[in-house]
Structure 1
């Protein structure tokens, strides 16, 4: 009689037990970048996440990495407990890491080697305190079997082919600009502020025109 191999389910953890970021600056920047990308890709078949365990070897819950922010094109968005490469069948299209003192070696040595093996097309690093990376914004694009540095413009900005965005280091933030329109991506708070300012300007102009008409004058 043939022996029966019992099925053993694998428990994939939902956290690595490490803090989200080293400092408030790093945590806020990670959340900001994720929000910008979520708003930009809303309504598209693009998944945006961050600080989520990404498992890359089926059956081995120890084989994972945790990107600060990552984008996967061509799959449905939606909440996930973790990301399994063999289930989704797509590696991240682009990964953004917010580098700190504790993560510099991981971000500049360990992770690039793994991302290259997993065929992640683009990889960006940003140092919001400008203490650990020079220049503070760095990018790499997969070319053949290895990563090649993305040559920045004179202002330190660089283009992401995968995201369709221009990343520009401006102070403590990498601002994101659309390649097709040149528009800067806004957070929800910034968008509300811009809308409020536009509404006030429109109301002021309407009041001015009404006053002129009341006087019988021309605009």
Structure 2
């Protein structure tokens, strides 16, 4: 009699969409994260193969749901736009995020920042930027010779991948697009749109008044027996 030994089925590995940690510790941190993520997303809005996410868990290793990080903003070239619960690298043609941003709040400890940097260095990030809100200090690293190397001066630095420029001389982090336009918050963008609409309306009214003035002058000329088109 043959005895059949049951095959053991390994339990399915779950990759949670949340690590239970807050996206930000304060309003200023949140606003800056949204500005950076939104600004980069808008910059590449016409490129379907650039994926930009904020506070999305990245799992670099299949079968390991403990090794993970959620960059405040990450940019992946070579992957399509779209919604994801998490970024599972083996599902994404094994493409690691090339650019990551972290906004450091007063609650962040140096040891935690070191662990973040070590993670990004180990798993192939090409450009890594940490911004300290309290001290208005931007620190960056760019990969060469297989390692993330410290950027000596970040003032005026242009990202090789994103082609955006960083400035901190104003007392806050300012980011400029390749066309020179500055990253702005949604509120600032709304104000700009309102101003543009007001300017358009003012120009329309001025054009309308000018046309009315021209029409009155033409009518006076006709009353005097003069053809305004021949004047």
Give the shorter-chain TM-score range.
0.7 to 0.9
User: Would you tell me which structure has more strand in proportion to its own residues?
Assistant: 1
Query: Is it true that 1:215 corresponds to 2:210 in the alignment?
Result: no
Q: Where does the alignment leave 5 or more consecutive residues of structure 2 unmatched? A: 218-231
TM-score (norm 2): 0.80
Query: Is it true that 1:37 corresponds to 2:40 in the alignment?
Result: yes
Give 1:1-219 correspondences, 5 Å limit: 4-44=7-47, 45-88=49-92, 89-106=94-111, 108-130=113-135, 136-152=137-153, 156-169=155-168, 171=170, 173-179=172-178, 181-216=179-214
Checking the alignment, whether the CA contact within 8 Å between 2:57 and 2:69 is kept in structure 1 is yes
TM-score (norm 1): 0.84
- Match of 1:51, SS? coil
1:93–1:106 Cα change, 3 Å: farther
Query: Displacement of 1:137 after TM fit?
Result: 1.1
Give 1 or 2 for the bigger CA radius of gyration: 2
**In 2, Cα distance between equivalents of 1:18 and 1:195:** 35
- Match of 1:70, SS? strand
Checking the alignment, whether the CA contact within 8 Å between 2:106 and 2:134 is kept in structure 1 is no
RMSD: 2.4
**In 1, Cα distance between equivalents of 2:79 and 2:202:** 45
**In 2, Cα distance between equivalents of 1:121 and 1:107:** 20
1:50–1:214 Cα change, 3 Å: closer
Query: Displacement of 1:213 after TM fit?
Result: 4.1
| Equivalent pairs, count | 210
Query: Displacement of 1:102 after TM fit?
Result: 2.9
